[in-house]
Amino acid sequence: MTGYDVVIPTSGRPVMAALLHGLGAADGPLPERVLIVDDRPATAPPLRAVPPAPLAGRTVVLRGAGRGPAAARNVGWRAARSSWVAFLDDDVVPAAGWRVALARDLDGLRPRVAGSQGAVRVPLPRERRPTDWERNVAGLERARWATADMAYRRSALAAVGGFDERFPRAYREDSDLGLRIEARGWEIVGGRRHVIHPVGAAGDWVSLRKQEGNADDALMRALHGGGWRSRAGAARGRFLRHAAIAAAAGVAIAAPRPLAWPAAGAWCLGTGELAATRIAGGPCTRDELRRMLLTSAAMPFVACWHRARGEARAWRLAAAGRGPMPERPEAVLVDRDGTLLHDVPHNADPARVRPLPGVRAGLDALREAGIPIALVSNQSGIARGLVGPDDVAAVNARMQERLGPLDAVLVCPHGPEEGCSCRKPAPGLLLEAARRLGVAPARCAMIGDIGADMEAAAAAGARPVLVPTEATRPAEVAAAPERAPTFDAAVALLLGEEAA
């Protein structure tokens, strides 16, 4: 059986309890871990997730940065350890036998297959025709690469940098990742498993809020060209009609009377066609008719506003030379011995401080980019009496003389037998460094040379990058989500640049 982890980004919706129950009740091999990423604002109280008995001890809650599903999924898969990562949305319920079907879907896949997509089934009412909102949700059944139920190889996610965090909403971040995966020559295949996606409650103006996705369409075009819809299997949509209706309205309001009357007629006809199309497929109740008439009148203008906003942002990104890469971290945490300096066990002599090749250049690149840097270093020699706190401070001071100042320096003085929360691979040192820098842990990256550095980053929700040395075990290299040959190459990876 192929091992897998499950990643569930959540905004704290109570329906997630049904997901966990269904995941635990399904037959088949259990996930190695269930990683729930709390994507609520930092001021929200801790998320309470009570998994069913089969998932007890396997469920971990990670803190996201409240920046949307793309960023939350990045936190989750970077904390994963298995070779496959199965993504589920927090409002779906795995069908009976989901785990068995997932195992069958993943076992024996060719190496060039990077992803396996499960089907999404949306139950619609049988006693009446579905509402506009219900039909919108049912569109998930035809969506390509939807991460409502999608499993990816962790190595493939690492190779392309994961989800692009410039997509703050659902849907287009899925298409963007799928296009980048296929551009690398990998395949994404359909599986036999499926999940149930109930239609949740929505307010009267939900269709207008959904028009925000027009901004993401502008970014998709900027990143993948004008033919991205056909390659991603995305529907054409109504934006051109929305633009024509809005243009007609503008002419009707601003143009002289001979032009204003025909434009006003076109405006009314276009709005009427939009409303009639939306009404025709649904129940002709008074509430539904009211919603469709009001939102159809406003929709073309709202859609054009969001598209213009998205085009402006896409232009700024293009002017800055930003391609389809995740956003840069807001802070970088670094190990000391074996990462910044040649490893001298329990060094108490500042004269023996020797920076590794590429370290100064990498640190200077971070400084030029305005990214703060914090040292997070295990120093168990203090607990063992091999070095004193003043010796460690002197070595760190000499290191900064050679490499330039750091924004924070944190040291764990405990031995491995003390069970502290700060010694890596525990995340305490990284969490405290992020706090001091004023950056959410999910917006930090960690550069280190051993598996403990990577595990600490994953536990903190940070992005781990391994720079192996001769002392790094092969298993640690294989398990690292992202790797770089040198420190400056790791920095270039984080900055979305080519290494020098």
The span from the CA of 62 to the CA of 162, in Å, is 17
Q: Which residues are catalytic?
A: 335, 337
pLDDT by residue (tens digit) across 283-311? 989 999 999 999 999 999 999 999 999 99
> Can you give the pLDDT at residue 500?
43
Q: Please name the residue that has the structure tokens 């525990």.
A: 426
Helices 98-106 and 16-25 pack at an angle, to 10 degrees, of 70
Q: Is the pLDDT of residue 324 over 60?
A: no
Are 55 and 238 in contact, with CB atoms under 8 Å apart? no
Any idea where the domains of the chain sit in the sequence?
Answer: 4-202, 239-300, 331-494
The span from the CA of 456 to the CA of 154, in Å, is 18
Helix H or strand E encompassing 136: helix 132-138
Average the pLDDT over 348-363 and give the result: 94
φ, ψ (nearest 5 deg) of residue 279? -75, -35
> Can you give the pLDDT at residue 226?
83
Q: Is the pLDDT of residue 323 over 60?
A: no
The span from the CA of 482 to the CA of 376, in Å, is 19
The span from the CA of 324 to the CA of 164, in Å, is 7
Q: Please name the residue that has the structure tokens 């490893």.
A: 343
> What CATH number matches the domain at 4-202, 2.60.40.10, 3.90.550.10, 2.60.40.1120, 3.40.50.300?
3.90.550.10
- Write the Ramachandran bin of 171: left for phi over 0, alpha for psi from -120 to 50, otherwise beta: left
Q: Is the pLDDT of residue 497 over 80?
A: no
Q: Is the dihedral angle over the CA atoms 202, 203, 207, 211 positive or is it negative?
A: negative
> Can you give the pLDDT at residue 319?
60
Question: What percentage of residues in the chain have a pLDDT greater than 90?
Answer: 69
Quote the Cα angle for 12-14-15, to 5°.
Answer: 115
> Can you give the pLDDT at residue 259?
87
Long-range pairs of 293-297 with CB within 8 A, sequence gap ≥ 24 = 294/204, 295/204, 295/205, 295/207, 295/208, 296/271, 297/271
Tell me the pLDDT band of 102, cut-offs 50, 70 and 90: very high
pLDDT by residue (tens digit) across 131-158? 999 999 999 999 999 999 999 998 888 8
405 CB neighbour count, 10 Å cutoff: 10
The span from the CA of 445 to the CA of 74, in Å, is 12
pTM: 0.71
> Can you give the pLDDT at residue 1?
59
Coil vs helix vs strand at 255: coil
The fold of the 331-494 domain, in CATH, is: Rossmann fold (3.40.50)
Reduced to 3 DSSP states, what percent helix, strand and coil does the chain have, rounded to the nearest 5? 45, 15, 40
Average the pLDDT over 371-375 and give the result: 95
Q: What's CA 459's distance to the chain center, in Å? A: 16
Q: What is the mean pLDDT of the chain?
A: 90
